[in-house]
Amino acid sequence: MRSYPFVFTGEVPCKEVRTPLNSITFSEERNEETCYGYCNEYQPHVVKRMFDYKNEVLYDLRWDDAGNLGQVSMSKPGEMFDAGRFLFWTEDNRMHTAVDDKHYSYYAYDYGGERRLKLVGVNSSVDVNAEYMTAVSTLNEPTLYPSAYMVLTNKGYTKHYYAGTERVAARLGGGGLNALHHVIENDRELQTKADSLFDQCLEQVNSRVLKENDLECIMRNKYAKEEFGHWIEGIPYQMKADVECDHRLFKEMVDSMLTDYHNGEEKEVYFYHSDHLGSASWITDSAGIAVQHLQYLPYGEPYIDQHPFGYSERFTFTGKERDEETGYGYFGARYMDHELMTGWLSVDPMADKYPSISPYAYCAWNPVVLVDPDGKECIADDDPPTRKKKYEIANSNNKHKLSKISWGETSGIYPMKNPEDPNNKKLCYNPTNWDEQKTEELLKARAAIHLIGTQRNSTVHKNDCDINDALIKKLATYHLTSNFPEVDEKILNDKDVKYFFLSPEPKVATPSLASDGQECVMSYGPFYNVGGGDVEAGPIYIHFYKAIKKDDSQKKDKQK
């Protein structure tokens, strides 16, 4: 069990981890508590102090003026500085360097902000005095990201396969990537720019100094703990790094990728079996044998990691890469600390849209239901709850795809697990409780209504909706034309089907066609209607009709 008590401003004063000993998964018993200190007067949402009660470790966290985490120092209360990490950021708030007592890591991004290069080296020497933390390192572990579908290291390459946005398989290879030759081998201008960028980043590493935390301000916080007030002796104020890139090793890696040593064979294939958030839970090989088993605590902290065959997956929680050298998760726009802070390392780029939520909160503190695909904005991964296809989520960018055909008629209809229970309205607004089959059925009905309204009957009523309303935005997913399935053939192939009617009865004649003959071609339901319009709250059906033109003999028979 993990608990996170919140205060009204959105900070987490403490977190508790209670996990019992499990003889099946061989997970150890954990009984931990970590508390967080804030300064209400300056950057009130960032964690300035942390205390780990189990290990009796005090953490001091310093942030730059843009709200990016810049330095983490740790020690026993009242003792000398023991270990720490320095983080450095670009002007657009992307981490370019991370240095601790073990590793020096460098990250480079493309013009769109996607990470394309990672260089890591083990520090050969680390020295700490009252002012500086000095590190000497050679970056000899390169990782290249040509696209979302491929990752290259000095051990080989990995191809990734997706079903929509969900990673489903990975194939390992060792060479034959001739397409990279022109980009890497011959583009001297690109190499020069890359060297210049690295030098600029190194200059910042060796010159930046952050402000000390105001302990008095931290202790004035209502939830401050006594341990936060202890002084940590000898915290270094600045980095002094002596680092170089091993260009020879990087070139050898590229050359090895250009040479096909295996005649195009890629024998190692691994399949991802993900949970409802897209987190890798089981990894199996081509024979179906499990090679890794993963389970997580709510914010992505590893709970169980079993890999008896040596394979260790790097894309884990919600399918995002977890950097081994830092333990941080890379989401695109931001990095996340899954273990210590259980939050982001930098400010939410969309923070102005959510002023009531901490800009460092992962998924608005709701990680069991929501996911954040790129570090910018969280979405409901269960929207809709079916797993048959990946649905597009309604937002301001795809508003033009929102079907306004009969929005008013169907926006109050929900596919419930128990549509016969007219008293339970709470389930209506929660897609996590929707019946999967009924959801698909309602989408088919929506597709048919859209077809009728746009192609066959311009009199079908139309209504606009406020995409900025939180509830409507969530439910608007089911009104996006891009999410509609194929219209059922009975309606698609019969162009005379131009009418639909909502009724609590499974079989009923529509009054709009009372003067003519009519045939009910297809019906969907029952769904649940929350009320409004001409139909009362309760179970409801959507019927589709076509008009049957009567001939003279039918009219005479009717007159008799």
* Domain limit, last residue, from 371, 404, 431: 371
Q: Where are the alpha helices (DSSP H) in 87-241?
A: 180, 188-205, 215-220
Average pLDDT over residues 305-315: 84
pLDDT at res. 228: 94
pLDDT at res. 560: 46
**Does residue 219 share a domain with residue 341?**
yes
The reply to whether 379 falls in a domain is no
Q: Are 228 and 51 in contact (CB under 8 A)?
A: yes
Average pLDDT over residues 448-467: 82
Phi, psi dihedral angles at 30 (to 5 degrees): -130, 135
pLDDT at res. 350: 83
CA 319 – CA 330 distance, rounded (Å): 10
Q: Are 68 and 47 in contact (CB under 8 A)?
A: no
CA 511 – CA 356 distance, rounded (Å): 49
CA 479 – CA 475 distance, rounded (Å): 8
Work out whether the CA dihedral 531, 533, 535, 540 comes out positive or negative.
negative
The reply to whether 234 falls in a domain is yes
Residue 126: pLDDT over 90? no
pLDDT at res. 8: 40
pLDDT tens for 495-540 read 999 999 888 888 888 887 766 689 999 999 888 888 766 677 888 8
Q: How many CB atoms lie within 10 A of CB 413?
A: 25
CA 448 – CA 544 distance, rounded (Å): 9
The reply to whether 390 falls in a domain is no
**Does residue 422 share a domain with residue 355?**
no
Give the distance from CA 360 to its chain's centroid: 14
Angle at alpha carbon of residue 371, lines to 327 and 67, rounded to 5°: 55
The reply to whether 380 falls in a domain is no
pLDDT tens for 201-256 read 999 999 999 999 999 999 999 889 999 999 898 999 999 999 988 777 777 777 77
pLDDT at res. 384: 45
Q: How many CB atoms lie within 10 A of CB 7?
A: 12
Residue 4, token pair as written in the block: 């996170």
**Does residue 409 share a domain with residue 330?**
no
Show Cβ contacts of residue 278 under 8 Å, excluding neighbours closer than 6 positions: 165, 166, 167, 318, 319, 371, 381
* Domain limit, last residue, from 356, 371, 386: 371
**Does residue 328 share a domain with residue 179?**
yes
pLDDT at res. 30: 62
**Does residue 409 share a domain with residue 280?**
no
pLDDT at res. 237: 92
**Does residue 455 share a domain with residue 310?**
no
**Does residue 433 share a domain with residue 364?**
no
**Does residue 457 share a domain with residue 334?**
no
Which one is predicted more confidently, 156 or 427? 156
pLDDT tens for 86-118 read 999 999 999 999 999 999 999 999 888 899 999
Show Cβ contacts of residue 555 under 8 Å, excluding neighbours closer than 6 positions: none
Q: How many CB atoms lie within 10 A of CB 102?
A: 15
User: Could you give the C-alpha distances from 316 to 184, 257, 546, in angstroms and in order?
Assistant: 29, 25, 52
* Residue 280 domain boundaries: 2-371
Q: Are 234 and 80 in contact (CB under 8 A)?
A: yes
pLDDT at res. 15: 82
pLDDT at res. 250: 74
For the chain, give the percent of residues with pLDDT over 70. 84
Strand ranges inside 227-378, DSSP E: 238-245, 268-274, 280-285, 290-296, 302-306, 321-322, 328-330, 335-337, 343-344, 370-371
Q: Out of 38-42, 242-246, 447-451, which region has the weakest mean confidence (pLDDT)?
A: 242-246
User: Could you give the C-alpha distances from 365 to 221, 435, 438, in angstroms and in order?
Assistant: 21, 26, 30
CA 85 – CA 91 distance, rounded (Å): 20
Q: Are 474 and 431 in contact (CB under 8 A)?
A: yes
The reply to whether 376 falls in a domain is no
**Does residue 432 share a domain with residue 361?**
no
* Domain limit, last residue, from 354, 371, 388: 371
pLDDT tens for 337-383 read 999 888 999 999 888 777 778 899 898 888 887 888 889 877 765 44
CA 370 – CA 249 distance, rounded (Å): 41
The structural domain count of the chain equals: 2
**Does residue 415 share a domain with residue 342?**
no
Return the residue matching tokens 């050359």. 255
Strand ranges inside 352-466, DSSP E: 370-371, 379-380, 413-414
CA 296 – CA 294 distance, rounded (Å): 7
Give the distance from CA 273 to its chain's centroid: 17
**Does residue 333 share a domain with residue 237?**
yes
Q: Report the predicted TM-score, pTM, of the whole model to 2 decimal places.
A: 0.68
Long-range own/partner contacts, residues 366-369 (CB < 8 A, 24 or more apart): 367/277, 367/298, 367/299, 367/300, 368/277, 368/298, 369/432
**Does residue 317 share a domain with residue 214?**
yes
Residue 2: pLDDT over 60? no
Which one is predicted more confidently, 232 or 11? 232
For the chain, give the percent of residues with pLDDT over 90. 40
